[in-house]
């Protein structure tokens, strides 16, 4: 087996390496502690702190050897691309403390998980897209994929309702966009992809009722609403773990008593 080193980083007593198997066209990674292998994996292509062959940005150390999740221990992010046409992308968060271990595997599927400090507290959140709706209601290129922000909580990354929330757009703006889609976006009796994409963006942003209203406003008056398609949308929402977690947090926030000073 002929393996070429494609990346190597030293972090304290640890050495992180990625390899390319030129004979079998695969890839692998390993982490050494004091010269002994403690973790390893195989797949297609791997990158340390960035995607395979992605240019090094101005802050390459951002995901290498710093405390990413606020647990007081340095981590490193190992990215993997499985080699598909548009899938799949995985980010492994590896703890480099007294014990080296994989804390989380974040499956971005058709999108690369992006680590960002969204609330300015020095702890990285992860931005992903919810691909529960892939190939719905038609081809992949037209499917909606609302963005979700994940935070580290109780030892895992979960959807964060507060950080996923977006400011409510003016109602007049939403009505105007729905009217534009209703008048211009339809092809025959088929609603355009933008209709459901916009509705789901509103829902995931914390405006569920407005999202459902948008569908009604953008639906052509001469086309009978398709109950099967709307039922499919409800079923897909119920199937999404991200949506269920967002809903759980929002219900809990709505029931929280308000303290009076």
Q: Which residues pair with 199 in a beta bridge?
A: none
- The pLDDT of 43-72, averaged and rounded, is 83
What domains are there in the chain, each with its CATH number?
3-110 (2.40.128), 171-255 (no CATH)
CA distance 8 to 29: 10
pLDDT one-digit tens code per residue, 84-102: 877 899 999 999 999 999 9
Confidence at residue 52, expressed as pLDDT on a 0 to 100 scale:
77
- The pLDDT of 21-39, averaged and rounded, is 92
Give backbone dihedrals phi and psi of 208, rounded to 5 degrees, phi first.
-60, -50
Give, for 9, the enclosing helix (H) or strand (E): strand 3-11
Confidence category of residue 189, pLDDT binned at 50, 70, 90: confident
What's the predicted TM-score (pTM) here? Answer: 0.91
Per cent of the chain over pLDDT 70 is 94
Mean of the per-residue pLDDT values of the chain: 92
3-class secondary-structure state, position 80: strand
CA distance 173 to 181: 12
CA distance 33 to 18: 15
- Cα angle 129, 131, 137 (rounded to 5 degrees) comes to 130
Q: Which residues pair with 7 in a beta bridge?
A: 18
Q: Is 70 exceeded by the pLDDT of residue 257?
A: no
Would you give the distance in Å from CA 28 to the centre of its chain?
A: 24
CA distance 143 to 178: 18
* DSSP label of 257: P
DSSP letter string, 121-150: SS--EEEEE-GGGTT-SS-GGG----EEEE
Confidence category of residue 138, pLDDT binned at 50, 70, 90: confident
Would you give the distance in Å from CA 118 to the centre of its chain?
A: 14
pLDDT one-digit tens code per residue, 199-217: 999 999 999 999 999 999 9
Cβ atoms 184, 147 nearer than 8 A: no
Confidence category of residue 258, pLDDT binned at 50, 70, 90: low
DSSP letter string, 145-213: --EEEEEEETTEEEE-HHHH--PPPPHHHHHHHHHHIIIII-BTTBPPHHHHHHHHHHHHTT-HHHHHH
**Joined tokens for residue 259:** 């303290």
Q: Of the candidates 17, 59, 23, which has an alpha carbon nearest to the alpha carbon of residue 35?
A: 17
* DSSP label of 2: -
Give, for 53, the enclosing helix (H) or strand (E): none
């Amino acid at each position: 087996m002929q393996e070429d080193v494609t990346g190597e980083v030293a972090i304290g007593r640890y050495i992180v390496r990625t390899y390319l198997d030129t004979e079998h066209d695969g890839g692998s990674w390993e982490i050494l502690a004091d010269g002994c292998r403690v973790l390893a994996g195989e797949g297609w292509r791997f990158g340390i702190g960035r995607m395979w062959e992605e240019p090094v940005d101005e802050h390459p150390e951002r995901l290498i050897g710093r405390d990413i999740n606020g647990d007081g221990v340095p981590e490193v992010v190992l990215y993997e691309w499985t080699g598909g046409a548009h899938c799949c992308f995985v980010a492994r968060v590896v703890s480099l403390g007294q014990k080296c271990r994989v804390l989380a595997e974040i499956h971005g599927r058709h999108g690369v998980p992006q680590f960002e400090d969204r609330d300015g507290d020095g702890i990285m959140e992860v931005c992903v897209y919810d691909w529960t709706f892939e190939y719905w209601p038609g081809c992949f290129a037209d499917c909606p994929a609302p963005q979700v922000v994940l935070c580290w909580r109780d030892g895992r990354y979960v959807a964060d309702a507060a950080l996923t929330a977006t400011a409510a757009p003016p109602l007049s703006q939403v009505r105007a966009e729905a009217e534009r889609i209703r008048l211009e976006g339809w092809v025959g009796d088929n609603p355009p992809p933008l209709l459901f994409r916009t509705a789901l963006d509103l829902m995931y942003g914390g405006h569920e009722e407005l999202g459902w209203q948008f569908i009604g406003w953008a639906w052509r008056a001469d086309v009978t609403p398709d109950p099967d398609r709307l039922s499919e949308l409800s079923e897909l929402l119920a199937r999404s773990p991200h949506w269920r977690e967002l809903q759980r947090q929002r219900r809990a926030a709505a029931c929280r008593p308000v303290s009076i000073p």
